[in-house]
């Protein structure tokens, strides 16, 4: 044990600041985050490059080789009921789901954050009315939104997008509202006010930076959730329409042959969905550790 030394009054102030590790370095050390990021980057790259990578036209039916088993020559992952190459369809099948999920969740994050922040700083009545509206959206089972939208605009990518936004906005708004209410009561908000900041400046430059990491973390895992969700909607026939390749549709199209000896047709897209969703979850969890040390 070292000999006790008496801290002189004010000694704490003399230490010069030490260099610190950047957020990027912390990210690189976080295995979960890196793994999630790598998987997502790979899937995005494959989806973008699908026209060059795919061995076959995803919609070309080959009557010669219907339901070829996994590993057959020319069809690495086999073919489906109509003789379409499963691997090629798999490479194309993530495009709509990824774009719809990322874009819709981003839109929902922006809208939900705006609503939550506004409600947190608005007067009691405005905030009460707004949050009741949010609760109303919260109360509406999302599948009903999908069904109603499908009745209005016909099944397709817009139904997926609308449903994801509608489902995600109230979640984001509630989280932002709850966190902003906590932040609002902290002294730094009052300190900013005493230092002449306007309410708008307080919300945008003081409080928002404190919520940003939560929103990003939450948004990342929301993308994962919605990849799975949109796949289910498409499987139900509310999303991507045939003949376009889509993981969700491939699952429902492969359903008929799953029990009759061709499990791969439905299982490969299901595994793709699982992998991508897990990757977003890992990235979200990893970001939580990186952004909230």
Phi and psi, residue 84, nearest 5°:
-85, 145
- Closer residue to other proteins in complex, CB, 64/187: 187
Q: What is the DSSP letter of 268?
A: H
- Closer residue to other proteins in complex, CB, 116/264: 264
- Closer residue to other proteins in complex, CB, 26/53: 26
Distance in Å, CB of 114 to other proteins, minimum: 19
On whether the CB atoms of residues 69 and 262 are closer than 8 A, the answer is: yes
CB atoms within 10 A of CB 130: 18
Q: How far apart are CA 86 and CA 245, in angstroms?
A: 9
Distance in Å, CB of 47 to other proteins, minimum: 18
On whether the CB atoms of residues 222 and 105 are closer than 8 A, the answer is: yes
Distance in Å, CB of 147 to other proteins, minimum: 5
Distance in Å, CB of 289 to other proteins, minimum: 9
Q: Between the CA atoms of 113, 116, 121 and 126, what dihedral angle is there, to the nearest 10 degrees? A: 130
Distance in Å, CB of 52 to other proteins, minimum: 27
Distance in Å, CB of 73 to other proteins, minimum: 27
- Closer residue to other proteins in complex, CB, 20/24: 20
On whether the CB atoms of residues 276 and 96 are closer than 8 A, the answer is: no
- Closer residue to other proteins in complex, CB, 54/227: 227
Residue of 287, 178, 181 whose CA lies nearest to 224: 287
Strands (E) in 111-268, as ranges, are none
Helix spans in 237-263 (H): 247-258
Who's near 165: CB < 8 A, 6+ residues apart?
Answer: 104, 107, 108, 111
- Closer residue to other proteins in complex, CB, 116/254: 254
Distance in Å, CB of 216 to other proteins, minimum: 13
Residue of 24, 274, 265, 239 whose CA lies nearest to 153: 239
On whether the CB atoms of residues 92 and 56 are closer than 8 A, the answer is: no
- Closer residue to other proteins in complex, CB, 244/246: 246
């Amino acid at each position: 044990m070292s000999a006790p030394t008496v801290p002189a009054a004010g000694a704490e102030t003399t230490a010069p600041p030490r260099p610190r590790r950047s957020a990027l370095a912390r990210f690189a050390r976080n295995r979960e985050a890196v793994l999630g990021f790598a998987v997502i980057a790979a899937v995005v790259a494959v989806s973008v490059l699908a026209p060059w990578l795919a061995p076959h036209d995803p919609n070309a039916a080959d009557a010669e080789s219907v339901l070829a088993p996994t590993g057959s020559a020319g069809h690495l992952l086999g073919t489906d009921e109509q003789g379409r190459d499963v691997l090629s369809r798999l490479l194309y099948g993530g495009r709509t789901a990824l774009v719809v999920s990322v874009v819709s969740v981003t839109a929902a994050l922006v809208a939900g954050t705006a609503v939550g922040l506004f409600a947190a700083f608005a007067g009691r009545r405005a905030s009460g009315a707004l949050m009741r509206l949010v609760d109303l959206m919260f109360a509406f089972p999302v599948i009903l939104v999908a069904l109603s939208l499908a009745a209005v605009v016909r099944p397709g990518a817009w139904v997926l997008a609308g449903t994801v936004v509608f489902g995600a906005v109230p979640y984001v708004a509630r989280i932002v509202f709850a966190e902003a209410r906590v932040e609002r009561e902290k002294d730094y908000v009052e300190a900013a006010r005493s230092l002449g900041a306007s309410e708008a400046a307080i919300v945008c430059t003081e409080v928002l930076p404190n919520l940003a990491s939560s929103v990003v973390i939450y948004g990342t895992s929301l993308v994962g959730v919605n990849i799975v969700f949109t796949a289910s909607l498409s499987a139900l026939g509310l999303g991507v329409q045939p003949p376009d390749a889509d993981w969700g549709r491939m699952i429902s199209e492969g359903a008929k042959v799953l029990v009759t000896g061709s499990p791969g047709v439905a299982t490969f897209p299901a595994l793709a969905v699982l992998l991508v969703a897990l990757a977003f979850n890992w990235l979200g969890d990893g970001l939580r550790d990186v952004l909230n040390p």
